[in-house]
Structure 1
Amino acid sequence: MPALLLGAATLAASGLFSLRAVAAPDTRRPVLPLPSRPAPDQARIAVGERLFADPRLSLHGRISCWSCHDVSTNGASARPFDRGDDGTAMPLNTPTVFNSTLNFRFTWTGHITSAPGMIAASLRNPHVMGGDGPGIERLRRDPVLAAQVRAAYHRELDEPAVIDALTLYLRSLTTPGARFDQWLAGNRRALTAQERRGWARFQSVGCVSCHQGVNIGGNLFQRHGIFHPLASPNPAVLRVPSLRNVATTAPYFHDGSAPDLSTAILSMARAQLDITLSPGDVADITAFLGTLTGSYKGRPVRAPRR
């Protein structure tokens, strides 16, 4: 039985997740390259990009979306826990916004099902952006932004326009051009021998059972700590994260407890698969995961300074 089917069937038999939760993976090709996405209204995307970086959108004007999701680096941050507009630490590590709209759910717990819902929840949460009202009123008084919004939406700035513009902007945050995508597209020279070994090992040990599809994850729920404890015990069931750009997004896990990729790989293999990987296997899988780094606006995604 192929590794994908063996791993998925074993976990399904254990009752830890349902195969029906998977977003139609192609078992002949468990990982798919990023699709080309049609460019929507550029004027509205431009509004969203501006709002994303503007701290005036938050209640006290202390943070912007960019404060936790730095799109000049990895789409997240280097901190285990970011802080919201009220100064309190977030309960979970910040996921990257890159390719996030390709996931089937949002947040680590997956309780939000759409990009507009995610944005609305962040705006209204007192521990994140602090509430949408004061920020929107403040932004309406900016004549340059007001003119940009009127040109794009033919009305004044309001919450629906903010949510729509930020949603369109999030959908534009894809990172094509990863070497693994090039290899999937037929460029046999895109990967080194070590990286190909890492891909083979990634499949054979069962990592691909949960990390598959176009986002190499992000399309099912899974219980963590199946065989051995992994990170903080709660939440017990999480949305499987995407592995795109994973080499740039340390620290890892929902509690930010894994400082580097090698530690995360060793811990995941033991906790989720009951396997102790050799140093060579870890090095090979780490090398493979490095091939999942794509580019944004023509520049490779990179890790922020720590």
Structure 2
Amino acid sequence: MAGPAHHWRRILMICILIPGGLLLSSAMPQQLVQPQEANSIISDEPITPVPEPRPINALKVRLGERLFGDHRLSRNNLRSCASCHDLNTNGASKESHDKGLDGSSLPLNTLTVFNAALSFRFGWEGKIRAIESDAKASLQNPQIMGADLAEIVEKLDADSGLRREFVAAYGRRPDAENVVDALATFQRTLITPGSRFDRWLAGDAGALSAEEQDGYRLFKSLGCVSCHQGVNIGGNLFQRHGIFHPLASPKPEILRVPSLRNVATTPPYFHDGSAATLDEAVRRMGVAQLNSTLTDRQVSALVAYLGTLTGKYRGVPVGGAP
């Protein structure tokens, strides 16, 4: 006869396989995690803390950071990577759709560059597998940077100071390979550890309020964690949106599940940027993905929990959030 542990493992498996499988349980009395219980459950959580950035060649990182903000990497020196990925705010922008080089709107909302290196694919459709390939694709995309790598190298090599930095970091002058590598190396450092939720995961029971813990419990019981889990709370699988009801623009139908790290700082939401607030996004996700109209209390708790996912970049909270 199956014991209690087997029973609960089976329920958890059902929840993971069927998003919203424990939807009815949200109406049942919920017990908050008591401080003395916190340390005993952390190791069993489906989400793990963001690690501190690994030590990387400091010369390459510094060079990559300089290139990230260099307009010479674009056609006609019109923009830099930082033009759409503002590291002083949320690693993206506040626009539903950023503008292409010709002034038209880009087809998809700009994803944050923070913690992107922790995802298994890049972009909303997840077509790119490596961070170097993503950097190269952005440089060459006619609507994003519209550049030719040979022309970029020529412009950078004409800068004697920058040329010396390349020689110091790579032992040679700028070329297509080390330009891309420097950008990718810098982007690997754009990790944001230190969120309040990560502190709670590490055993600090006081890091979350009662409502925030309630929100996390709902996040799991409603089935949100079926797609948003792991170190990046997403970013590690593909999913169809609008399972029960339309969510946003119908195309693309299949998307890489976005990370929820720093999500409170990255409005507007969804691939078409059609949800202006986190409250709206949570309500629409409930209907579209769970076939459930969430109560105001549930939405409030979920939004409160999502607000605990804001980490720190270079010791400062992303977006200046508290």
TM-score > 0.5, shorter chain as reference: yes
Residue 80 (str. 1) matches residue 96 (str. 2): yes
Report the CA distance shift for 1:141/1:88 in structure 2 as closer, same or farther (over 3 A). Answer: farther
Per the alignment, residue 152 of structure 1 pairs with: 169
Residue 209 (str. 1) matches residue 223 (str. 2): no
Residue 8 (str. 1) matches residue 16 (str. 2): yes
Residue 300 (str. 1) matches residue 308 (str. 2): no
Alpha-carbon shift at residue 173 of structure 1 (Å)? 0.2
The one-letter amino acid paired with 1:33 is P
Helix, strand or coil: the match of 2:255? Answer: strand
TM-score by length of 2: 0.87
Residue 279 (str. 1) matches residue 316 (str. 2): no
Per the alignment, residue 235 of structure 1 pairs with: 252
- The runs of 5 or more residues in structure 1 that have no matched partner are 14-25
For 1:152 and 1:61, how far apart are their aligned partners in 2? 24
For 1:303 and 1:97, how far apart are their aligned partners in 2? 16
Alpha-carbon shift at residue 86 of structure 1 (Å)? 3.8
Which of 122, 130, 134 aligns to 1:118? It is 134
Residue 170 (str. 1) matches residue 178 (str. 2): no
Helix, strand or coil: the match of 2:213? Answer: helix
- Aligned 8 A contact 2:54 2:189 in 1: no
For 1:100 and 1:159, how far apart are their aligned partners in 2? 22
Report the CA distance shift for 1:4/1:67 in structure 2 as closer, same or farther (over 3 A). Answer: farther
Helix, strand or coil: the match of 1:291? Answer: helix
Residue 102 (str. 1) matches residue 118 (str. 2): yes
TM-score by length of 1: 0.91
- The runs of 5 or more residues in structure 2 that have no matched partner are 1-7, 22-41
Residue 186 (str. 1) matches residue 203 (str. 2): yes
Alpha-carbon shift at residue 59 of structure 1 (Å)? 1.0
Consecutive aligned runs of 4 or more in structure 1 exceeding 6 Å deviation: none
For 1:294 and 1:107, how far apart are their aligned partners in 2? 21
The one-letter amino acid paired with 1:144 is G
Bigger Rg over Cα: 2
Q: What's the CA shift string for 1:59-86, capped at 9, x where partnerless? A: 1111100001001110000001112334
Alignment of 1:261-272 (within 5 A): 261-272=278-289
- Aligned 8 A contact 1:4 1:209 in 2: no
Give the share of equivalent positions with the same residue, in percent.
52
Alignment RMSD, CA only?
1.8
For 1:235 and 1:192, how far apart are their aligned partners in 2? 37
Which of 114, 136, 139 aligns to 2:156? It is 139
Alpha-carbon shift at residue 303 of structure 1 (Å)? 6.9
Which of 61, 72, 84 aligns to 1:45? It is 61
Give aligned pairs, total.
291
